[in-house]
Amino acid sequence: MKILDKGICSIDSVKANGYREGKYGVAVIYHENSTCVGVYTTNKVYAAPIDITRKHLENGKASAIIVNSGNANCYTKEEGIRKGLEMAQLAADTLEVPVEDVAVASTGVIGRQMPLNILKPIAEKSLANLSNSRENATRAAEAILTTDTVKKECAVEHALHDGTRFKVAGMCKGSGMIAPNMGTMLGFITTDLNLSHEVLQESLNRSIRKSFNMVVVDGDESTNDTVLLLSTNEVEGEYDDNFQEALDYVCISLAKQMARDGEGADKFMQVEANGCRNLDDAIKVSKSVVSSSLVKTALAGADPNWGRIISAMGYSGVDFNPDNVSISIGNEEKDVVIVDRGEVTTYSRPELLEEAEEIMKEKTVIIKVNLHDGESCITAYGCDLTCEYVHINADYTT
C-alpha cells in the first residue's frame, strides 16, 4: 500500500474546492455520475441534510457533494429541508447536473435556520474554482472544520489480488464523536474502483465499525454524522479484501486523526481489547475504558491508574473473571505490564509503575487489556479529558 499526499484530490478525476468566511465554510467534491453510498447518525434527532442526502442516494448515484460548516441545519423542519435543497440546487445549476445527484451535509450550531445570505456567496466561490490541485484538496478539507484544529486527510494506492491498481482517498472533520453543536463527524471518501453501490455500502459499513464507530471523545452522539463513499468507477476490477484493507486504512487513519484532535485533547489514547469471547464484548470493553471520564482525566494527569481501567472494564456489561485480566500501558515501542493475569506486578516491582508514568507523559498512550477468555479483539480510539475541553464547551454560546 502506498500513501498518497493529495488528500481528496488524490484521485485525478475528482475536483474539489473549499472556501471559508469566519465561522462559515463550504466545500464541494465533484465527479459526475459517481456511484455513492452513505452511513448516517443513529440519533433520533437528525438534521435536514441527512433527509435530503439519504433520498438523493437511494439510486446509489451522485455527481457532487456540497458541505457547509457553521450551521448544522438540524431541528429546522420544512424550512431546513427547503434551504438544504437550495444549496443542492445551487451546486446542481453551476455544475449542470440534476439536483437529485447532489448530496448535502452540514455541521455547526443546531436549532437555527441556515443563513443562506451568508452561505450562498461562499458556496458560489467554492463552485467557481473546482480543480484537482493539492491546494484545492486542502481548501475543501479546511472549509468543513469547526472546533477542529487541523485538517484531516488520508489517501492510499493499493492493488487488488490480480494486480489492478486502485486508489482510496478521504477527508473528514470532527473533534471526536462528539458535539451536536459544533463537533459533528463528517467524512467523505472517494475511490476509482468500479464497484456496485451494494458492494460499496457493505464495504463502508465494515470499515466504519472498525474506525469511526470506535472513536469516543465525550460520548455524545451528533445529529449530523455522515460518511459518504463515492466511486468514480474508472478502474475496472472485482472487489477483494485488498480493497477492504485500503478502505479500512483510510477510515482508521481519519478516525485516529479525529481522536488526536479531540476537543481540548492534549493526548491520544488507543485501547486494545484482546482475548474477548466475541467482537461485541471486545467493543464494549474497549469503548468503556476509552470513554471513562476517570481514565481520561488520569491520562490528562499522566497517572497510570490501572484501578480506573479495570473498574471501567467491570461496568462495561461484559462478563469476565477479574482474576484472569492483564493490563499494560505502553507506546509504539513497548508495553509495561501492570496487571498480569490478575496479579498486580507493581507491588513487587515498583519500577514498573515509574516506567508507566513516563509513558503516560507522552502524547500517545496505548492501553492493552486482555480478558484471556477468547480470540476476539478490537481497538478503540480516544483522548484525554482536559480543562480545555470544559472551556471549549462551556464558553461556547448558542
The answer to whether residue 350 forms part of the interface with a copy of itself (CB under 8 A) is no
Nearer of residues 138 and 222 to a copy of itself, judged by Cβ:
222
Q: Which residue has the cell 482525566?
A: 297
The answer to whether residue 220 forms part of the interface with a copy of itself (CB under 8 A) is yes
Q: 146-185 mask for a copy of itself (x: CB under 8 A)?
A: ---------------------------------xxx----
- Least distance between a copy of itself and beta carbon 322 (Å): 5
Contact (CB, 8 A) for 327 and 306? yes
Nearer of residues 118 and 344 to a copy of itself, judged by Cβ:
344
Sequence letter at residue 374? G
The answer to whether residue 213 forms part of the interface with a copy of itself (CB under 8 A) is no
Nearer of residues 111 and 121 to a copy of itself, judged by Cβ:
111
The answer to whether residue 226 forms part of the interface with a copy of itself (CB under 8 A) is no
Q: Angle at Cα 36 formed by Cα 33 and Cα 41, nearest 5°? A: 150
Give the whole-angstrom CA distance, residue 284 versus residue 273: 9
Choices 52-60, 96-104, 237-245, 312-320; region in contact with a copy of itself by CB under 8 A: 312-320
The answer to whether residue 194 forms part of the interface with a copy of itself (CB under 8 A) is no
- Alpha helices (H) in 28-175, listed in sequence order: 48-56, 77-95, 116-128, 134-143
Give the whole-angstrom CA distance, residue 179 versus residue 170: 22
The answer to whether residue 372 forms part of the interface with a copy of itself (CB under 8 A) is no
- Least distance between a copy of itself and beta carbon 130 (Å): 33
Among 60, 121, 314, 374, binds a copy of itself (CB under 8 A): 314
Nearer of residues 250 and 290 to a copy of itself, judged by Cβ:
290
The answer to whether residue 212 forms part of the interface with a copy of itself (CB under 8 A) is no
Residue 261: its H or E element: none
Q: Angle at Cα 221 formed by Cα 43 and Cα 140, nearest 5°? A: 100
- Least distance between a copy of itself and beta carbon 221 (Å): 4
The answer to whether residue 324 forms part of the interface with a copy of itself (CB under 8 A) is no
Among 138, 222, 232, 253, binds a copy of itself (CB under 8 A): 222
The answer to whether residue 1 forms part of the interface with a copy of itself (CB under 8 A) is no
Give the whole-angstrom CA distance, residue 257 versus residue 194: 28
Choices 91-99, 187-195, 218-226, 228-236; region in contact with a copy of itself by CB under 8 A: 218-226
- Residue 174 region by backbone torsions, left for phi larger than 0, else alpha for psi between -120 and 50, else beta: left
Give the whole-angstrom CA distance, residue 5 versus residue 3: 7
The count of chain residues that interact with a copy of itself, using the rule CB under 8 A, is 61
The side-by-side arrangement of strands in the sheet containing 268-276 is 343-344, 335-340, 326-330, 364-370, 268-276, 376-383
DSSP code per residue over 191-222 = EEE---HHHHHHHHHHHHHHTGGGB-SSS---
- Show which residues are catalytic: 184
The answer to whether residue 107 forms part of the interface with a copy of itself (CB under 8 A) is no
- Alpha helices (H) in 193-301, listed in sequence order: 197-210, 241-260, 279-291, 293-300
Binding site for a copy of itself (CB under 8 A): 42-46, 74-75, 77, 109-111, 179-181, 218-223, 291-294, 297-298, 300-301, 303-308, 310-315, 318-320, 322-323, 342, 344, 353, 385-387, 389-398
